[in-house]
Amino acid sequence: MLQLTIKNINKTYNNNIHALKNISLDITTGILGLLGPNGAGKSTLLKIISTIMKPDSGELYLNGVNIVKKPNKMREILGYLPQDFGVYRNLNAVEFLNYIASLKGIDTARSKNRILKLLEYVNLYEYRNRPLSSYSGGMLQRIGIAQAFLNDPKVLIFDEPTVGLDPEERVNFRNMLANISTERIIILSTHIVSDIEAVANKIAIMNNGLLIRYSTPEELLSEISGKVCEINISSEEFFRNKNDLIVSNSIQRTDGILARVVGNNTTRYKGRPVSPKLEDAYLYLIKSNFGD
């Protein structure tokens, strides 16, 4: 079994922004969902785990090996899709993936069949000979997903991988992860909570460089049991009281607003209790710990 241990990681950028503050995590095989608003420190943490960036202090161990001092131990088994993934647009899909395979030291004979199979997995096989300059944003994102799988990695890290994907492709991607997660560490960072809710067996929530919760989805949902309801409220009352409400969803109707709200003070609105969702728990924790 793989074990990734993160101990007291800190990172401060030159503009004096403290991006990570004493982050500690123990990650084993399965899918870890990483949630947090923009600026929470998620991408910085992923870059450090991927050995692209070094922490200012702290330690990272992969099966007991310090990967800050020996980064190749991670790189040999890593598949990584960064948020700002770029391509050579004059190449077609096969040429580009061949190029990435060569950078990863994958044998040409071995990579040929794997590239074609991966293009089938991401539904790009029929477009394999078209230049990447003709691809849509969603198609380019799928090329990024394919390259992360090239070396059959044991650790997979994805930073906002489903941006630009249509709902069907998002489901296909989640199914890919679920099918291979029993023997790998997969870290999935996204702002689309439903993607994590569908596949993650552990969830880490970050904000302002801090880890504010690390637990299972079931534990998070249990934490807000009885604190979620739907209320019918006039538009005037909704906007007058919106700073006192944690709203996970709202729908404008002819008679006002149907709002899904989370918190300890929802009973005064005489709402209808509903079963909690992960997005409710996420918003509750973010707002409870840091407010607006």
pLDDT band at 266 (very low <50, low <70, confident <90, very high): low
With beta carbons less than 8 A apart as the criterion, state whether 209 and 19 touch. Answer: yes
The verdict on residue 185 lying in a domain is: yes
pLDDT digits (tens, 9 = 90+) for 70-93: 999 999 999 999 988 889 999 999
Residue 271's nearest CA partner among 287, 282, 258, 284 is: 258
Q: What is the DSSP letter of 38?
A: T
pLDDT of the residue at 267? 65
- Give a yes or no: residue 291 inside a domain: no
Please say which residue of 216, 246, 266 terminates a domain: 216
Are 34 and 164 part of one and the same domain? Answer: yes
Tell me: do 161 and 91 sit in the same domain. Answer: no
Mean pLDDT of 153-177: 92
Q: What pLDDT was estimated at residue 237? A: 83
What band does 290 get if pLDDT is binned at 50, 70 and 90?
Answer: low
CATH number for the domain spanning 174: value is 3.40.50.300
pLDDT digits (tens, 9 = 90+) for 223-261: 999 889 998 888 888 888 777 788 888 898 888 899 899
92 forms beta bridges with: 131
Domain interval for residue 51: 1-77+154-216
Mean pLDDT across the stretch 210-235? 92
Structural domain includes residue 169:
yes
Give, rounded to a whole angstrom, the gap between the first and last alpha carbons of the chain.
40
Q: For 2-37, write each residue's pLDDT tens digit.
A: 999 999 999 999 888 899 999 999 999 999 999 999
| Residue of 198, 242, 238, 205 whose CA lies nearest to 223 | 205
The per-residue pLDDT for 292 is 45
| Mean pLDDT within 48-69 | 97
Provide the domain count of the chain: 3
Same structural domain, 97 and 145? yes
Look at residue 289 and tell me if it is in a domain: no
Backbone angles phi, psi at 124, to 5 degrees: -125, 10
32, burial (CB in 10 Å: exposed 0-12, middle 13-18, buried 19+): buried
Q: Are both 3 and 24 inside the same structural domain? A: yes
Return the ∠ at Cα 128 (arms to 127 and 133), rounded to 5°. Answer: 75
Is 141 a member of any domain?
Answer: yes
Q: How far apart are CA 154 and CA 149, in angstroms?
A: 10
pLDDT of residue 219 exceeding 90: yes
Tens digit of pLDDT for each residue in 95-141?
A: 999 999 998 888 877 888 999 999 999 999 999 999 999 999 999 99
Residues 130 and 18 in one domain: no
* pLDDT tens-digit map of 190-205: 888 988 998 999 999 9
Reading phi first (left if > 0) and then psi (alpha if -120 to 50, else beta), residue 3 is in: beta
Looking at the structure, tell me whether residues 145 and 263 fall in a common domain: no
Q: Phi first, then psi: what are they for 30, rounded to 5°? A: 125, -165
Would residue 177 count as lying in a domain? yes
Does the residue 292 lie in any domain?
no
Do 2 and 107 lie in one domain? The reply is no
Instruction: Indicate if 63 and 161 belong to the same structural domain.
Output: yes
Instruction: Give a yes or no: residue 23 inside a domain.
Output: yes
